[in-house]
Structure formats: C-alpha cells, structure tokens
Chain A
Amino acid sequence: MEEKKKGVDLGLRKFIKELGYMTGGAALLSTTPWLASCTPEKLAEIGNAKARVALIGTGSRGQYHIHNLRNIPHAELVALCDVYPANLEAAAALCPEAKCYTDYRRLLEDKSIDGVIIATPLHLHARITLDALAAGKHVFCEKAMARTLDDCKAVYEAYRNTDRALYFCMQRMYDEKYVKAVQLISSGLIGDVVGMRCHWFRNADWRREVPSPELERHINWRLYKEYSGGLMTELGSHQLEVCTWVAGKIPTRIAGFGDIVYWKDGREVYDSVNVTYQFADGRIISYESLISNKYNGMEEQILGHAGTVDLSKGVYYLEEDNLVSGMRQLLEQVKTGVFAAVPTAGPSWRPELRAKYVPHPVLEGKFSISDGESSVGFVADGSDVILSAFCQSCITGEKAKDVVEEAYCSTVLCLLGNQAMEEGRTLTFPEEYKIPYMKF
C-alpha cells in the first residue's frame, strides 16, 4: 500500500505542476476546458482551506478513493456510509476519524459536509446524486452516470438547475497522457480522424466472492441488469467518452451484437459485446469487449489518415514513419524504458530499414499505463487528479466545464448500445435524449 500511495501522490503533484504549462496553449483549453477550474494558480488561491467530504459506498472503488484522498491536502474525509457492514468496517479502519452512517440520507443532513463521493453500484448513482444535490452538496459520482436513459436525463436536468459542482469519475479526462494525446490529435498529428477502435479484453469471470448466498446480488451487482449495464457501462463508458472527446461529436446510428458466451453462471449481463457507432459523416467507432480472452488487452485507438494514437498506452504511430533505423529504435528504447531486440544486424551496411510501425510516446519520461486488468483502478490514471479537482470545487464552488456533459454522452451511448444489442436492430439516436452540448 505504501508504494501505491507514493505513486498516486507523485502522479498528482506532477500533473498539477505541469498543468500550468499544459493549459498554457489555447489549443489545449479548447480540447480540455474542464482543466480550467483546477489550474495550479487556482489551487494556490484556496490556501489552507479543506473540503469536508463524505464517501457513500465504501466498497473496492470507495476504498481506492480513500487512499487517493489521503494525498490531497485540501481534502478531509469526515463521513462514510455503506449498507454492507463488512465494507463499512474496512473503510472505517482506513479512516477511523470519519463518522459512519448506514443510511446516506442521514449523512446528507450533516450541514458541515461540503461534498459527497458516490461509489455505489450503478443503479443508485442517480438517486443518491439527486438527493445530494438537493441537500446542497457538491457531488462526485462514479461512472457511469446512471442505469437508465431517463435517470441520465434527470441528473442532467438537475445539474442544469443547481449551482453545486457535479463530477462523474471519467478519469481519462484528467489523465496526462490522454490530455496530451488529444491535444496532439487536434493539432493534426495524425491527420483527419477517420475512425476509432476501442476494446477491453480480460479473462476473468468478473465475480466477487460471496460470504453467504443471499448477498450474491448485492456483491455481484455488476452481473445483474437491475443494477448494472454490464460491460458497456462498466468498461465501455470510459472508452466511449474518449471517442466523443476526440470527435467532438456524437454518433447518430448504433447497432451491435452481444451475448453470454462463456460465463454461463446465472449472470444476466453479456460477457461479450460488439457495438458499432456511426457518425452522421460516416465515420465509425468500433467497440468490443470480451471477458474470456485477454489477448487484445485494453486499447483506445484513434485512427487518422496519417497515423494512429493509442490513447491507453500513450503512444502514437505514423503511417509514413521516415525510415527509422535500428539505432533510433534502440535510443527510443533506452529513453522510454523498453527492452527489446533491435533489427539492426546485417551482412553489410544497407540504407535504413523500412520502418514497421514504431511507437512514439506522447509524453516525455516515464508515465503510468494500465493493462486494463484491474476492476478497481490504476495508479495515477487520472482518478486522483479528478478527485483533487472535485475537492477544489467543493471549496471554490466552481464547476468543471463539460464533465457532466461528457459523462452524459458516453453513458447514453453505452445504454443505447445495450438496447441495440438486446433489440437486435439499428437505433437512431433518440431525439428525447439529445442535449444542447451534443453535435452530430
């Protein structure tokens, strides 16, 4: 745990330190307007103020947030709430000074609490978010936004009518390598974006151990439709958000297939999904997730006519990579901490090897990359930064621009993907769920 703590801390400080430089350009602010509310200058302005925050839902993700909160100097975790005693106790052990609740409504009555962090199963996100906003709290809720399209709409409307800050944990929006890569894409690095391919492959049943059978649905909520949108909301929401972020547009047509292919263990949600989203201009997002084969790992590929960015790995490839020699490759390796064979031996000197695709890192130095296998979270993946930004908002009251809108767009796309698979037909983006933020 010690090491994890340190890693998070470093990532967070480094990001905030470099934010000033990163947000310097107008180009960047136009691709990441949400970073404007958490610049280093604004952080300095809050001085020693501390946000008094509470955590609702103290399961695995909630406890991960507790660790991140420890490294946020402007945050104080004052209350915890969970209905499942084992998780509440585990969280209380991490944070003994916090007051414990089993009913979140009682917690919301505490006027001294500035903001709440919601890390409950998906079906509760909307209700608790709405109640917390109504109670005057700033809210940080885990992704996805909500379990149903109507709940998403209700949350979005509530957000439009509140002066409270609202965040959904779309941490890629605050992950330095994503921020930089999207900036590179918008600066024309890979030419015209012609398509997107995202996938998330794991080989695990996604189950958690259940101490007693009546707790099955409570603990394995991800596997049941009442609480969860399955792979689309749990994994796809992050990746589709990245697509709408890059495209600045929303697809108009949605079709897909999904089924329970391998883990036929009584679960209700698909363990294999393949959804295609098409924009009005014809471009396609191809989305795929399967949890009985991990060969392909997790990737978010933005395909341009002049190159490809793999956002999750923080690297880009150019279609025409001016002949990269083995020695250049070796230099890249030693600079980026990679060890691999360099194709440089030969019987006599010949002109440079014709390049295969050579990865170029989007950031200098070392940065953290998730293999996508954890279902809790990854060190320095932006989750720490977005949480810090939220705590800052609890003090300043400043909303983060577009975070709710992005969460709304991606969640609606996930839910429409599920609907398309279930109904076996091509959907047209429904009028009633369009919001002014969306461009088609």
Chain B
Amino acid sequence: MNSETEYIAEGRIFHGFVPHAMGTKLDLLAVGTEAAAAEALWTAFCAELSALEAALNRFDPRSEVARFNASESKAGFPLSPAVQRLLDLSREFWFRTEGLFDVTRGHGMDLEEAGATLDFGGIAKGYALALLRDRLAGTGIASAFVNFGDSAILGLGTHPYGDCWKVSLPNPYGGSQVAEFSLKDRALSVSGNTPGYTGHIIDPRTGRANVERKLVAVTGPDPLEAEVLSTALMLADKGQRLRLRRAFPDCESEIYTV
C-alpha cells in the first residue's frame, strides 16, 4: 500500500497519507508524538488496512469476499477471522437497524438465499477507523484527526490550538456550508448523494437506489456505529428514524435536505 508520511518537529505532529484505499484516501494527523513511535504505528496500520482491503474488495476476484460471493456453497466457505468478525458485527447492526443496514444486499442476512452476496462497503471504513483508534490508544496518542475519504472522520482529543477538532460540511450541490461539527473523541460519518455520485445507497427492501438530495450526518464515540447509523437513516421513514435514534443512544444525528 502506497503511503506518504511527514513529521513536523515543532508541535510533534505526524501526518500519514494513503492516496488509495477502499476507493478513497486516508489522512492521519497525530499530535504530540515522537516520530519513531508514529512511524511504527503507521506502518502496522497500513499493513492491516491493506490486508483488510485485499479481503473485502468485492471487485477484485481474488479477494476473500469476491471468492465467497462466487462460491456455490456459502455455508461451507471458510471465512477468515477478520471477515467473520465483520459479518457478526453486521448481523448485530442489521437487527438494530430493523434491516435497513444490510451487507447481504437485500437478502436479510440470509447467506443461504439464492443471489445473496456480501458487500462491506457500508461498514469497512468505520471498521478501519476503529482499528486505527485502538492503535492510537495503544501508542498513547491522545490527540489525532483521521479523515477517511471525507465521509468517515475521527477526532480524538483536541486540535493543538483548540478545544476539539472542527469540521464543516460543505453543501455538495454548491452554496453555503450545511453544518459544522466539533469532534472530541468522536467520529463523524456522512452519508448522502452528491451531484457526481448519486444512487449508491440501495434500499434493501425495494432494491432501489436512493436518489434524494439529502445528507445524513452522525457523530458518536464509535466510528462503526456512526457509519452504520448514517446509512440506515438515509433509508429510514419517520417512525424508523425515531426508533433508530433510540437504538443508538450514544450517537447524535441530523438529516439535511440540500
């Protein structure tokens, strides 16, 4: 996996950048760290991210998920512990979101059902952020900002000159900004459509793509929960929204029509 790093001695800031991962890019800004410790953490994380991508990329025929999707007998397919763990987590979230979050592409988590395939696209970035968060904690780095493709963001501790990390959400259709978030040990996940990329969120109940000019932003302590909830809220009706918010009490969410 290609990556670039930079260390700013004044301020003890480490910047790591992965230009291509899971269809997007990832930046880590770690504050108050020695260069060597951050480099070591970064190398280990990049290896982990690389392995995860190799396993989950359903468009790569060699990946575990692609092979699983292509296999005749899914029950007998030996899943690696990492993918099994993601699958277990996804099942939990499927329950908590009343089926709105579904990695089986509309098959209600029933992998035996004909045509059922796995797609971890809606959870993988959050999962990677959670892994990185744990590594940062393990290295004793309390202040960091991680941006995974703009839609999955993690702010740990505070900006070196502020009391949190501040991120704003510009309107993808142009015009003024939609919202501003203050993150302190919180993740932010944004789902929605953009002018150039519409219809990537599929309603598992109907199989139809959501094409509304709508954005959902969720913040919460757990990047995984935030990511799952933002996808589910994109599809939820009024009643479901209320119940979803109750099912994810640690998260705060907002839906914007843009």
Chain A residues at the B interface, C-beta cutoff of 8 Å: 326-327, 330-331, 333-335, 337-350, 353, 365
Q: Do the beta carbons of A347 and B24 come within 8 Å of each other?
A: no
Q: Do the beta carbons of B150 and A348 come within 8 Å of each other?
A: yes
Let me know if B49 is at the binding interface, CB within 8 A: no
Note all chain B residues with C-beta closer than 8 A to A350: 150, 172, 194, 196-197
Let me know if B1 is at the binding interface, CB within 8 A: no
Bitwise interface map of B from 125 to 161 toward A, beta carbon under 8 Å scored 1, else 0: 0000000000000000000010101110100000111
Bitwise interface map of B from 187 to 201 toward A, beta carbon under 8 Å scored 1, else 0: 010111110110010
- A350 CB to nearest B CB, Å: 6
Chain B, 169-226, CB within 8 A of any chain A CB:
169-170, 172, 177, 180-181, 188, 190-194, 196-197, 200, 215, 217
> How many B residues are at the interface, by size bracket?
35 or more
- A361 CB to nearest B CB, Å: 13
Chain B residues at the A interface, C-beta cutoff of 8 Å: 8, 10-11, 13, 15, 17, 23-25, 27, 29, 31, 145, 147, 149-151, 153, 159-162, 166-170, 172, 177, 180-181, 188, 190-194, 196-197, 200, 215, 217
Q: Do the beta carbons of A349 and B161 come within 8 Å of each other?
A: no
Q: Do the beta carbons of B166 and A340 come within 8 Å of each other?
A: yes
Closest to B258 in A: A347
Note all chain A residues with C-beta closer than 8 A to B215: 347
Q: Do the beta carbons of A334 and B196 come within 8 Å of each other?
A: no
Q: Do the beta carbons of A346 and B29 come within 8 Å of each other?
A: no
Note all chain B residues with C-beta closer than 8 A to A334: 8, 11, 13, 29, 31, 159-161
Q: Which of A339, A342, A346 has the most CB of B within 10 A?
A: A346
Q: Do the beta carbons of B162 and A339 come within 8 Å of each other?
A: yes
- A330 CB to nearest B CB, Å: 6
Note all chain A residues with C-beta closer than 8 A to B169: 343, 345-346
**CA–CA, A314 and B113, complex, Å:** 65
Q: Do the beta carbons of B166 and A339 come within 8 Å of each other?
A: yes
Note all chain A residues with C-beta closer than 8 A to B151: 345-349
Note all chain B residues with C-beta closer than 8 A to A331: 15, 29
Q: Do the beta carbons of A343 and B177 come within 8 Å of each other?
A: yes
Q: Do the beta carbons of A346 and B166 come within 8 Å of each other?
A: no
**CA–CA, A27 and B200, complex, Å:** 56
- B165 CB to nearest A CB, Å: 8
- B125 CB to nearest A CB, Å: 10
- B171 CB to nearest A CB, Å: 10
Q: Do the beta carbons of B166 and A342 come within 8 Å of each other?
A: yes
**CA–CA, A220 and B78, complex, Å:** 89
- B191 CB to nearest A CB, Å: 6
Given contacts A334-B29, A335-B8, contact A349 B24 (CB under 8 A): yes
Closest to B166 in A: A341
Closest to B178 in A: A345
Closest to B23 in A: A349
- A160 CB to nearest B CB, Å: 47
Q: Do the beta carbons of B180 and A341 come within 8 Å of each other?
A: yes
**CA–CA, A341 and B177, complex, Å:** 11
Q: Do the beta carbons of A341 and B167 come within 8 Å of each other?
A: yes
- B210 CB to nearest A CB, Å: 11
Q: Do the beta carbons of A327 and B200 come within 8 Å of each other?
A: no
